[in-house]
Structure 1
Amino acid sequence: MNFPSKLIEDAVTEISRLPGIGKKTALRLALHLLKQKESVSEDLANAILSLRKQIKYCHTCFNVSDSETCSICRSGRRDRTIICVVEDIPDVLAIENTSQFNGLYHVLGGIISPIQGIGPDDLKIEALISRIAGSEGEEKVSEIILALPATMEGDTTSFFITRRLKEFGVKVSTIARGIPIGGELEYTDEITLGRSILTRVNYSVD
């Protein structure tokens, strides 16, 4: 791709480093910014710089935060006896958008993957164990929900965590895996269909 300006080329190169953005899309974005007021580019640049320099990670659940403790962990309205374990931050956002979960979270920062060289020590598993061991009284953790990917790596991570939690006698559950609403059985893979049958629930008309 030939560029009329080295400045545009540099901008396209940096923008195209973002996931899901190719050179052509990066060029369109760069040219779009050129058409806007200079203040628009300055606001974007300042927002990115502030993100990198000022963002913090909650010292309890490792979610992104503006302070040492995130708003979810600080909230007095959350059920502190239930912790939902997720792979990464986008999973927290996805679950929160459902408005169906009122407990706390724990972000592992990945899943166990020997192929990628990621082991249990590379994740926030020990921090999770410490949270459970340190809970007491009315806020004692009673259930851990494993909301991890339905992959071999996700299942390996779930298995490892479950074994580590065995000594605490805490209930361990996983999110349901089944047929999506509107899905046709003939197009559903065998593993998902099999899990749906095994984890079937009672059907009631009441």
Structure 2
Amino acid sequence: MSGGPEIEQLIQLLARLPGLGPRSARRAVLHMIKKKEQLMLPLSAALDRAVAAVRTCEICGNVDTASPCSICSDPRRGESGILIVVEDVSDLWALERAGAGQVRYHVLGGVLSPLDGIGPDDLNLDSLARRAGDYSEIVLAMNATVDGQTTAHYITDRLGPGAKVTRLAHGVPIGGELDYLDEGTLSQALRARTQI
């Protein structure tokens, strides 16, 4: 590759981002170079500011420019008595975009995955156990994967029978056609059916 080691390093760094491979990273870098004044310089300044300002919330694990984060600092958030447990910050942000309501969150930082060497000590589970008693309901918003469901069962067992633990509904998505859904989704939708 020609262009110098600085360009190659930039391509390699961008290629590490999710959804970008070497070819996409190369196209992005070439585009930024063409638009150096409009893209590259503001991006560099924004990255510098983000490195200095972004914090991980000491309470829930969200990322924000303050700790506690804006969600944990909002006094109205605790009124519902609901704590939603998510795998990652991206899940928290998705629920916020969906309008989850005046709830609080707890970010685990991943899921239990013995094959990847991720055990209970690698997740934010101790602080969840400490926080759980302050809420009337704990909603487990884990992904519908084997590791996600294993993590949900582990949390339920760890919190014990005194905690009200629920999970997100699984089944047919809005706008979904039955013919295109996998058997597991259809089976779960049948088991979780509700009266109209």
Q: Provide the TM-score with structure 1 as the length reference.
A: 0.87
1:157 paired residue number = 151
In structure 2, how many angstroms separate the alpha carbons of the residues matched to 1:23 and 1:160?
38
In structure 1, how many angstroms separate the alpha carbons of the residues matched to 2:144 and 2:18?
23
Compute the RMSD of aligned alpha carbons. Answer: 1.8
The answer to whether residue 180 in structure 2 is matched with residue 187 in structure 1 is yes
Aligned letter for 1:30?
A: V
Residue 4 of structure 1 and its aligned partner are, at CA, apart by 4.2
Residue 7 of structure 1 and its aligned partner are, at CA, apart by 3.7
Residue 126 of structure 1 and its aligned partner are, at CA, apart by 1.0
- Residues 39-63 of structure 1, C-alpha deviation per residue, up to 9 Å, x if partnerless? 6422211222332333111111110
Secondary structure at 1:77 match in 2: helix
Aligned letter for 1:160?
A: Y
In terms of Rg, which structure is larger?
A: 1
Aligned letter for 1:131?
A: R
Residue 109 of structure 1 and its aligned partner are, at CA, apart by 0.2
Aligned letter for 1:165?
A: L
In structure 1, how many angstroms separate the alpha carbons of the residues matched to 2:145 and 2:91?
15
The answer to whether residue 96 in structure 2 is matched with residue 96 in structure 1 is yes
1:148 paired residue number = 142
Change (3 A) 1:160 1:7: closer
Change (3 A) 1:37 1:172: same
1:126 paired residue number = 126
In structure 2, how many angstroms separate the alpha carbons of the residues matched to 1:165 and 1:97?
28
In structure 2, how many angstroms separate the alpha carbons of the residues matched to 1:184 and 1:115?
34
In structure 1, how many angstroms separate the alpha carbons of the residues matched to 2:178 and 2:33?
50
Q: Provide the TM-score with structure 2 as the length reference.
A: 0.91
Q: Which runs of 5+ in 2 are unaligned?
A: none
Change (3 A) 1:37 1:143: same
The share of aligned pairs that are identical, in percent, is 42
Count, aligned residues: 195
Secondary structure at 1:182 match in 2: coil
Aligned letter for 2:177?
A: E
Q: Which runs of 5+ in 1 are unaligned?
A: 136-140
